[in-house]
Structure 1
Amino acid sequence: MSQDKSVEVGANLAIGVFDGVHRGHHDIVGQMVEQSKREGLPAVCFTFDPDPDEVLHPERRPQALASVPERVELLKSIGVSSVDVLAFTAEIANRSAEEFLKWVRREYDVRGLWGGSDFALGRGREGTIDALRGIGASLGFEVHRVEPLVEGGRVVSSTWIRELLREGDVRMAAKLLGRNYGLRAEVVSGAQRGRDLGFPTANMVLPPGRVLPADGVYFVEVERNGTWLRGVSSLGPRPTFGEEEPLLETYILDFEGDVYGDLLEVRFVERIRALARFE
């Protein structure tokens, strides 16, 4: 197993994909961070790349809510000491839950492990949270189960957030994420359609493998060099110009300057309408 282990002494640990680092993840990681503060121990998040589903079920590979660097950044914002990334392989997937926890115990000197009620690891997801409690006790550490966060009668999950984004309901997705959903990419030279129509736009290459909100026009927030600006974005194929590939074009309000080559983050605040063809 190869990973960037950054803790050499005892630590509390939370393991998971943490895609999107939504409010449910905040509950799990936040409880671990608070306990670690009380005990004077590092709080470590342990995540995987690629997503285990990509290895185990490539035919239904999930689109991501956040890239690995974004996940690391978001988890650190909760207060964890470090985030370690394990390269997930078929060999790792075939390990038993006990084998995996023995390795984690040896590598991290784990004092406590945190997971949600549906958390499982090991071959065939045999290591449910209750099974892990027994294994952890035999290895000398406690496994903490965190009850799921429920919103409107439904458990907050990455799957639900993906559904909302694909429906264009970015406001509800933001409620579950705890922030507006965003895409981060470099501004490239485009066809400059907006400039031809009288309003220059920033054209962004959409990051591969990411969940895209439903096609449409959105009110957005744009982060540039640490400053947040307001804007309007068009996302999707451009029927007016006969283009089929999805594009993200953003007009930044009350801004004058060249953003070509800049790395921008566009966060979707509210969907205004669907895309329309103008003859």
Structure 2
Amino acid sequence: MTTAAEAAKAKLAGAGGQPHVVTIGNFDGVHRGHQYLIQQVVDAAQHRSVRSLAITFEPHPGAVLRPDHSPERLATADEKLRLLRATGLDNVVTLEFSREFANLEPVAFLDLVLSTVAPVEVFVGEGFRFGHGRAGDGATIQQFGDRHGFDTTIVTRLRDDEHMISSSNIRAALKAGNVEDASRWLGRRYRLLGTVEHGAARGRELGFPTANLTADAAVCVPGDGIYAALAHLPDAQMSARKALVYVGTRPT
């Protein structure tokens, strides 16, 4: 057994050997489409009197397979974990994604990911792909489930009018400066976490306090423009403050 497989098995073993309703995916942004799928997982687990489990991956597979063209993330790894836990899932397991992991054939991938968590039902989105060359899909899981005694449910993508709710469409909306649509598809205001760093102190000249925020380089920043926002500071005694956010190339 390879090192990556051993590490994955050990993490999954921590979920315990009791039966689970399981979902597998990257869940970037934990948007409304993900929430819709996960709610079905939670409901099915409650109906069956078993535990619900999400299996996800870090880093984003695109960062491993296409590092020069990796999609910008909609949430950091920590933020994604927090959002997944807030859905009502009993457990979330994050597996380290590597080239070794990506090169697994679809059946080997399923055997590795599912063999220790005793699935009674597996839910995936209709666009879910996995295994070497992204050759595995929902039908692959159904066939695997038929052989191993669990049900498979493939969840149709959620739509908002003519728009499909997806991580890629949310990224595109953000880059176009369309934060309103992006936030609606996320089911919450889009949020950037970052560190305040010293700038050119031009806010003093304007008569307004300014702060230069350095966000995670892998996270999607909206397109250039000025946005209405709420600023949350780490001091728990201070409530959110109304703010204007400037995204652009002129430092403040």
Question: Does the TM-score normalized on the shorter chain lie above 0.5?
Answer: yes
Aligned to 1:89: 98
Aligned to 2:192: 183
1:124-163, aligned counterparts within 5 Å? 124-163=133-172
After the TM superposition, which parts of structure 1 deviate over 3 Å for at least 4 consecutive aligned residues?
3-6
Look up the SS of the partner of 1:201 in the other structure. Answer: coil
Paired AA for residue 7 in structure 1: A
The counterpart of 1:43, out of the listed 47, 52, 55, is: 52
Structure 2: unaligned runs, 5 residues or longer: none
Alpha-carbon shift at residue 104 of structure 1 (Å): 2.3
More strand by share: 1
Aligned to 1:203: 212
- 1:175-205: CA deviation from partner (whole Å, max 9, x where unpaired): 1111111101122333221123211112211
Look up the SS of the partner of 2:192 in the other structure. Answer: strand
**Which structure has the higher relative contact order (CA within 8 Å, separation 6+)?**
2
The counterpart of 1:236, out of the listed 241, 248, 251, is: 248
- Taking only aligned residues, the RMSD between alpha carbons, in angstroms, comes to 1.6
Q: TM-score, normalised by structure 2?
A: 0.89
Moved more, 4-13 or 57-66: 4-13
Alpha-carbon shift at residue 79 of structure 1 (Å): 0.7
Look up the SS of the partner of 2:38 in the other structure. Answer: helix
Matching of residue 66 in structure 1 with residue 52 in structure 2:
no
C-alpha distance in 1, partners of 2:20/2:225?
46
C-alpha distance in 1, partners of 2:113/2:206?
58
Alpha-carbon shift at residue 57 of structure 1 (Å): 2.3
Matching of residue 57 in structure 1 with residue 66 in structure 2:
yes
Between Structure 1 and Structure 2, how many residues are aligned? Answer: 240
Alpha-carbon shift at residue 27 of structure 1 (Å): 0.9
Aligned to 1:111: 120
- 1:60-111: CA deviation from partner (whole Å, max 9, x where unpaired): 2111111111111111111111221111111111112211211223221122
Aligned to 2:31: 22
Look up the SS of the partner of 1:182 in the other structure. Answer: coil
Paired AA for residue 152 in structure 1: D
Alpha-carbon shift at residue 237 of structure 1 (Å): 1.2
Paired AA for residue 15 in structure 2: V
Alpha-carbon shift at residue 52 of structure 1 (Å): 1.3
More helix by share: 2
User: Are the counterparts in 2 of residues 133 and 143 from structure 1 also a CA contact under 8 Å?
Assistant: yes
C-alpha distance in 1, partners of 2:205/2:66?
45
Matching of residue 101 in structure 1 with residue 110 in structure 2:
yes
User: Are the counterparts in 2 of residues 105 and 139 from structure 1 also a CA contact under 8 Å?
Assistant: no
C-alpha distance in 1, partners of 2:182/2:94?
26
C-alpha distance in 2, partners of 1:55/1:228?
36
Look up the SS of the partner of 1:78 in the other structure. Answer: coil
The counterpart of 2:222, out of the listed 213, 218, 222, is: 213
User: Are the counterparts in 1 of residues 15 and 93 from structure 2 also a CA contact under 8 Å?
Assistant: no
